[in-house]
Structure 1
Amino acid sequence: MPIPIAKARLLDGKRGLIVGIANDRSIAWGCARAFRAFGAELAVTYLNDKARAHVEPLARELEAPIFLPLDVAVPGQMEAVFEAIAREWGTLDFVVHSIAFSPQGTLAGRVTDAPLDGFLKTMEISCWSFIRMAHLAEPLMTEGGTLFTMTYYGSERVVENYNIMGVAKAALESAVRYLAAELGPRGIRVHAISPGPLATRASSGIPEFDALLEKAKTKAPARELVSIDDVGAATAFLAHDAARRMTGQVLYIDGGYHIMD
């Protein structure tokens, strides 16, 4: 069940792009649902034709007027999405980047043994794509805006089996800080959201992930796992003007797991 959200439509008039919905267990779906509940209008993307069948019903539920394919590894697709937003809306208030990928052989192996092609693909999808989205979003954020990406605790601590993705997330968090510094004068804020472990399609590729979930549940002060709706509500808050003096942050939504030894 979604967490309760105030009836006040705090993001009325805001328009944003949600990238990364794969199904109704995706973090991006939790974010999209929260943003929509707060009154925002959404553009939604899907990875490919196979994913469309799962995402299209969710896009209809969100009443998304823009629904387009986006595989960031396909040349021109990112540009096409932002061009469509420019034609339809003219401006943009926020972007949620909730995608990451590493080839299975690279992700499952030691960082020490990472092949160049696997390393580059991991960085392209998991980090560079966010930088590119910031570049494309900037001219549309004429009144300022907020850019969000998803990270994880494995960026700053060695988490067993997280491997090369921890390296990519560390780079992503550094990119957030540099983007925040560069775009801040234009009123554009940039944040990395760091949820606790969640049973999503993306996490299914991490070996022994069930053990990581159990560890998070027993170790976190809250003694509970977070939900996609927890993540969504907190992310949506940061898009509100009340958070206008917050930028360049890594926001942990993990029941306090990251503070424990």
Structure 2
Amino acid sequence: MSTETVHPILAGKRALVVGVANEHSIAYGCALAFRKLGAELTLTYLNDKALPHVAPLAEALGAELLPLDVEQPGQLEAVFEALARHSRLDIAVHSIAFAPKADLQGGLLDCSRECFLRAMDISCHSFVRMARLAAPLMTEGGSLFAMSYHGARQVVPNYDVMGPVKAALEASCRYLAHELGPKGIRVHAISPGPLKTRAASGLKDFDLLLADAVARAPLGELVDILDVGNTCAYLATDYARRLTGSTVYVDGGLNIIA
């Protein structure tokens, strides 16, 4: 995908994008879109295994690259200590979620307490922690984004434990929008339709979910990572300066179909 700047409406702004795993990641689509609009980037990678996949992407985007495993004490704080060396932070994207595969492919009734708490910590509370650290650096306001899914609002077969977790994430976005609004910081949950990412591949019968999305969405096609990135880029500009607290669907209209 091209990284050429098309219009530098985000020039002079810095975006943190958490959750890039490879070139198919939603987070990478966000990074591409921000960079095309002129933003400077800081990306994170999970661990040494992920680094060879993420480093070339960061280099192509001219992005700062930092390690981040939100389960490791101090790593999230270290990212924001590094960001504090820059003059500003304007945009932050949280695109990480996790539950053990066995629990993703079993029902909610069979989800253990340990799994539920871990999924909630990584997929939801880490966004709250990120917002707490980001807010002091957003001295001129800013935008925070968290990635959700329609299974937060309605039952999606086989989504199981992640449904309640994403519901909590969407509620957290609304409450953070309320708390951070006086600081000029806007918060949105972004709800993409199903797309072929590494994380989604862990869901049971995911290919059937993709086929169903194409069959039922009014636009009749799947979305891609740039559709999601472009939506976040728009919401990060002054064109959307009075929008906050929303769950924004990027799914070809699938969410309106019963």
TM over 0.5: yes
* Coordinate RMSD, CA, aligned: 1.3
* Aligned position for 1:205: 202
- The separation in 2 between residues aligned to 1:90 and 1:168, in whole angstroms, is 34
**After superposition, what is the alpha-carbon deviation per residue over 1:141-199, rounded to whole angstroms, capped at 9, x for unaligned?**
00100000100000011101000001100000000000000000000000011000000
- The separation in 2 between residues aligned to 1:237 and 1:224, in whole angstroms, is 22
**What SS does the corresponding residue of 2:177 show, helix, strand or coil?**
helix
In structure 2, list runs of 5 or more residues that go unmatched.
Answer: none
**What SS does the corresponding residue of 1:172 show, helix, strand or coil?**
helix
- The separation in 2 between residues aligned to 1:31 and 1:41, in whole angstroms, is 12
Aligned counterpart for 1:71 among listed residues 69, 88, 94: 69
- The separation in 2 between residues aligned to 1:98 and 1:210, in whole angstroms, is 22
Give the AA of the match of 1:23. Answer: N
* Aligned position for 2:211: 214
In structure 1, list runs of 5 or more residues that go unmatched.
Answer: none
Aligned runs of 1:83-122 on 2, under 5 Å? 83-87=81-85, 89-122=86-119
Aligned counterpart for 1:238 among listed residues 235, 238, 244: 235
* Number of corresponding residues: 258
**What SS does the corresponding residue of 2:156 show, helix, strand or coil?**
coil
* Aligned position for 1:41: 40
The question of 1:161 aligning with 2:158 is answered yes
Aligned runs of 1:142-157 on 2, under 5 Å? 142-157=139-154
- The separation in 2 between residues aligned to 1:20 and 1:90, in whole angstroms, is 23
- The separation in 1 between residues aligned to 2:38 and 2:5, in whole angstroms, is 11
- The separation in 2 between residues aligned to 1:97 and 1:250, in whole angstroms, is 14
Once the two structures are TM-superposed, the CA of residue 6 in structure 1 deviates from its matched residue by 8.1
**After superposition, what is the alpha-carbon deviation per residue over 1:209-249, rounded to whole angstroms, capped at 9, x for unaligned?**
00000000010000000010111111100000111100000
- The separation in 2 between residues aligned to 1:39 and 1:6, in whole angstroms, is 6
Give the AA of the match of 1:42. Answer: L
- The separation in 2 between residues aligned to 1:57 and 1:22, in whole angstroms, is 11
Greater than 6 Å deviation, 4+ residue runs: none
**What SS does the corresponding residue of 1:49 show, helix, strand or coil?**
coil
Give the AA of the match of 2:138. Answer: M
Once the two structures are TM-superposed, the CA of residue 5 in structure 1 deviates from its matched residue by 9.0
The question of 1:224 aligning with 2:224 is answered no
- The separation in 2 between residues aligned to 1:8 and 1:108, in whole angstroms, is 43
**After superposition, what is the alpha-carbon deviation per residue over 1:74-129, rounded to whole angstroms, capped at 9, x for unaligned?**
11000000000102x03200101000000122222211221110000000000000
